[in-house]
Structure 1
Amino acid sequence: MSMFYRSTRDDSVKVTASQAILKGLAADGGLFVPESIPSLDKSLEELSKMNYKEVAYEVMKLMLDDFTEEELKSCIDRAYDSKFDTEEMTPLVKVENEYFLELFHGATIAFKDMALSILPHLLTTSAKKNNVKNEIVILTATSGDTGKAALAGFANVPGTKIIVFYPKNGVSPIQEKQMVTQKGDNTYVIGIKGNFDDAQTGVKNIFSDKELEKVMNDAGFQFSSANSINIGRLVPQIVYYVYAYAKLLANGEIKDGEKINVVVPTGNFGNILAAFYAKNMGLPINKFICASNENKVLYDFFTTGEYDRNREFVLTTSPSMDILISSNLERLIYRIAGNNAAKNAELMASLKSEGKYKITDDMKAQLADFYGNYATEAEDAATIKKIYEDCGYVIDTHTSVAATVYDKYRKETGDTTKTVIASTASPYKFTRSVMNAIDSKYDSMGDFELVDELSKISNVKVPNAIEEIRTAPVLHDTVCDSDKMCDEVKKILGI
């Protein structure tokens, strides 16, 4: 075993992969990062002959090397099964000259399923490996998709409870219905009066409450996270970029070693960071195109080198990206600071106290592979309409942000490198916004009328994830102020 994980804020912290997965967040508030990123030990040609599960094993065995082959393959087998509505797991759809990587064929029709289907198995295996006797309490903030995917993954998993906080008026009607109808004796869903950043900050504060940690331990509980701050969420996301490249190679769309671009609609920065890790493992990626919505904090960062969350929070039709604190960016900052925990901690302290930080010119020079831009709400809607009218293909509002930004990139640079666009959610998850973009005549229809209409115009069957919530009863109706989140957790745990 050679792979250890360190905290981005304290050089002295060193843990195994399974310990990092169990903890979720380092005690100092930092995120766990690998000491070094291992290289793929199978050739791209070999990977091109493998199915999704086989590729998953080849990637994850390198990053999670304290899992035995049997343990890791068992986790993969249990995760990537009939929950997915396609054998390929993540099909690539060629639309004109781009390849849309459909990451939404899992149980909750969003890309979070790719990691949250396996995280419960990684976590419970990690608990056994480390002789954990406590019940694990998954504590998660969601901007819409993580919440449902985590709830579905952890529902009725023995030895766990899951508590999800979401912004009460900051998710789509379908997203909210998916969460509040979630079954499972160990599932809890709470709306907060505030936005996603308030929910995420509240969760981080609960994690760092030492007094609460002691009370919980005495009562037989310990926290872990299902957010992308957990390395057990990030590692499975590397897989689908490797698999996408392998499929392009297998299908004769690219030559072995040919570089591709990757476009990712980005909020918390985890999904695009997974692509960055994939490149560091040996995947031939040319540019990371970071697509933001009108909350363009990442676009401004890549343009100026300053990260500044001091701005108006905009509620958009791509709510999973309505984020001003992109937590996973910290892992990249640590990397471009030369893996310097003290330097990174200083920048994160500035973000906490002043709401902003500025990187050095040397650090900015290391971001040459990244391109940032953003889509306005009008541009987002126009792209959905244009792709549907030109090709008959319907994309959701987040994927449309990516497609819009890619169009800007191509016009700006003239770069004709073959490009994969991460399609992060099914259009069924954001039906009203998608259908209104296509034609304003749909505005008067009810949510589920729109679902049926979308099925007609796209020739795509209504996913089970939508069918099962049509008449499902609301099981979770708690709402609290953001400063009362800890009280709700204590109430649930009876401590």
Structure 2
Amino acid sequence: MQYISTRDREQQFSASQAIAKGLADDGGLLTPVYLPKLPRRALEELKDMSYQQRAVYVMKLFLDEFTVKELTDFANAAYGPEKFDTPAVAPVRALDSNTFCLELWHGPTCAFKDMALQMLPHLLTASLRKQEEEKTVCILVATSGDTGKGALEGFKDVDHTRILVFYPKDGVSAIQELQMVTQEGENVGVCSVVGNFDDAQTGVKKLFSDEKLREELAQRGFFLSSANSINWGRVLPQIVYYISAYCDLVRDEKIQLGDPINICVPTGNFGNILAAYYAKDMGVPINKLICASNSNNVLTDFLRTGTYDRNRTFYNTMSPSMDILISSNLERLLYAITGENSQVREYMEELNRTGRYQVSDKVLEKIQRLFVGYCCDDTVTQKVIGTIYRNFDYLIDPHTAVGFSALTQYREETGDMTPTVVASTASPFKFCDNVLGALGETNLRDGLDILDQLSEKTGQPVPAPLASLRGKQPRFQRTEEKEHMVDAVLDMLK
């Protein structure tokens, strides 16, 4: 399997090269030259496998350089009981006969990013060995809340790696920030950025394209790579859990093999729902992909009009991991739909130049056959949390609530009651203040005592990774303007 940049077909890379590079030199995203199709009986065979076995089966289709034994060792290490608090890893919970929740937050940081970021360090370090790379890799990460902690936890004390995470100052929840700034590990660094997530993400992309910086780091024995979903090694493990969810529904006799489902995903950077699209393209019977956004509804508008326009007000919401106006992984979808590197390159150049681009009617028609988009504000988000809890005795976080709002809007608009899986992307305990507010609580406890308050209110236990934050002292307090992010990199890699 070869990989190319979304902006240039001429250069091709092996899987290990693509994972090690993270981002193409031309700024494009590395993507497979084709998507493999699941063999005819694959879903039937996969339904009786463990999550780890499913991961090996799916990833092997894309990673021909890696042996089954390598991938098996990686999957057992990434998704074992010392990492995830349930043997199912990504269990599917039924709310009613045609509404299901795919719980992606049972890992060490209580967010869906663990599903990929526990696997990526294994894929990356193995890729570096295959490339006989002697320099130390420095992982640069921009986070809107959850990727940062997931990446820090995944890469802490991994040999021949350093990791530096940038997050928007005042743009993540208190618990998300505490998770990052207290991170253990000798090879980790954390820095807040004045501005929003898009400022941090744009800054990281500029660092990757900074030739002077690359030369300086090479002299010091380092090179840059990424753990954001711009890295194919992040997207690939996410495909697994959508295939796994379908297999669980068949195994548990919620649907029959071959029955269609819909997938609803709260997303900001488009990577999570892109993985569902890839699962569909590979052969999973998925009808509609429902894209859920908060008040930063740039994706909703794009899916409805074909115009992507980031020139709009940026909102800090109670679902901060979706507070994004530049959805990087949309570029991979545009390439998949158009098959034209030159067209994608033009879109991205126009986005950089003017902050917007418009796809053709033909491209929009193809996208709308696959995707629908809905959005909601914080008032609706909080209302949905309360409604789901009252109706189903089921607790969800604000991001997942945005997903359920989108599903409700879609069903009311279309009448389509196809069985639907909603991706639940974070533990509600990461957002105690907003969840408690949705349940009617007004007098909120200070600090981490709010975790106990939510537990007492609902009878749900505090997840161990969050309970373990008690008593930890912040290690990182650095803040930089986006123009000076390079200083943080150079200081870490002295």
Quick one: distance in 1 between partners of 2:324 and 2:296?
A: 7
Partner of 1:29: 27
After superposition, the C-alpha distances for 1:209-235 in whole angstroms (9 at most, x for unaligned) are 112111211211011100000000000
Partner of 2:61: 62
The one of 12, 15, 22 equivalent to 1:14 is 12
State how 1:412-451 maps to structure 2 within 5 Å: 412-442=413-443, 444-451=444-451
Quick one: distance in 1 between partners of 2:405 and 2:88?
A: 26
Q: By how many angstroms is 1:387 displaced?
A: 1.0
Q: Which moved more, 1:348-357 or 1:467-476?
A: 467-476
State how 1:37-436 maps to structure 2 within 5 Å: 37-41=35-39, 42-81=41-80, 82-96=82-96, 97-337=98-338, 339-367=339-367, 368-436=369-437
SS at match of 2:448: helix
Quick one: distance in 2 between partners of 1:410 and 1:155?
A: 43
Quick one: distance in 2 between partners of 1:108 and 1:117?
A: 10
TM-score, with length taken from structure 1 = 0.98
Quick one: distance in 2 between partners of 1:268 and 1:314?
A: 15
Quick one: distance in 1 between partners of 2:197 and 2:151?
A: 16
Quick one: distance in 2 between partners of 1:492 and 1:252?
A: 52
Quick one: distance in 2 between partners of 1:189 and 1:230?
A: 20
Alpha-carbon contact 1:432-1:447 (below 8 Å) kept: no
Quick one: distance in 2 between partners of 1:275 and 1:257?
A: 17
Amino acid at match of 2:84: F
Q: Does 1:472 align with 2:472?
A: yes
Quick one: distance in 2 between partners of 1:460 and 1:128?
A: 43
Quick one: distance in 1 between partners of 2:354 and 2:441?
A: 42
State how 1:454-493 maps to structure 2 within 5 Å: 454-493=454-493
Q: By how many angstroms is 1:459 displaced?
A: 2.5
Alpha-carbon contact 1:289-1:372 (below 8 Å) kept: yes
Alpha-carbon contact 1:93-1:102 (below 8 Å) kept: yes
SS at match of 2:471: coil
Alpha-carbon contact 1:260-1:419 (below 8 Å) kept: yes
Amino acid at match of 1:390: N
After superposition, the C-alpha distances for 1:407-451 in whole angstroms (9 at most, x for unaligned) are 000000000100000000000111111111211424x32242321
Quick one: distance in 1 between partners of 2:365 and 2:90?
A: 33
Quick one: distance in 1 between partners of 2:392 and 2:36?
A: 40
Quick one: distance in 2 between partners of 1:69 and 1:445?
A: 49
SS at match of 1:288: strand
After superposition, the C-alpha distances for 1:186-242 in whole angstroms (9 at most, x for unaligned) are 000001111000000000000001121112112110111000000000000000001
Quick one: distance in 1 between partners of 2:89 and 2:472?
A: 27
Amino acid at match of 2:209: S
Q: By how many angstroms is 1:491 displaced?
A: 1.2
Quick one: distance in 1 between partners of 2:421 and 2:328?
A: 24
Amino acid at match of 2:134: K
Quick one: distance in 2 between partners of 1:13 and 1:108?
A: 37
Q: By how many angstroms is 1:45 displaced?
A: 1.3
Quick one: distance in 2 between partners of 1:445 and 1:230?
A: 39
**Count of residue correspondences:** 490
Alpha-carbon contact 1:199-1:482 (below 8 Å) kept: yes
Q: By how many angstroms is 1:331 displaced?
A: 0.2
Quick one: distance in 2 between partners of 1:111 and 1:28?
A: 29
Quick one: distance in 2 between partners of 1:210 and 1:324?
A: 26
Quick one: distance in 1 between partners of 2:154 and 2:264?
A: 27
Amino acid at match of 1:49: D
Q: By how many angstroms is 1:291 displaced?
A: 0.2
| Structure 2 residue ranges without an equivalent (≥5) | none
| Structure 1 residue ranges without an equivalent (≥5) | none
SS at match of 1:366: helix
Alpha-carbon contact 1:291-1:374 (below 8 Å) kept: yes
After superposition, the C-alpha distances for 1:300-326 in whole angstroms (9 at most, x for unaligned) are 000100000000100000000000000
Q: By how many angstroms is 1:458 displaced?
A: 2.8
Q: By how many angstroms is 1:375 displaced?
A: 1.1
SS at match of 1:67: coil
Quick one: distance in 2 between partners of 1:4 and 1:43?
A: 23
Amino acid at match of 1:197: D
SS at match of 1:53: helix
TM-score, with length taken from structure 2 = 0.98
Alpha-carbon contact 1:142-1:165 (below 8 Å) kept: yes
Alpha-carbon contact 2:445-2:453 (below 8 Å) kept: no
Alpha-carbon contact 1:431-1:447 (below 8 Å) kept: no
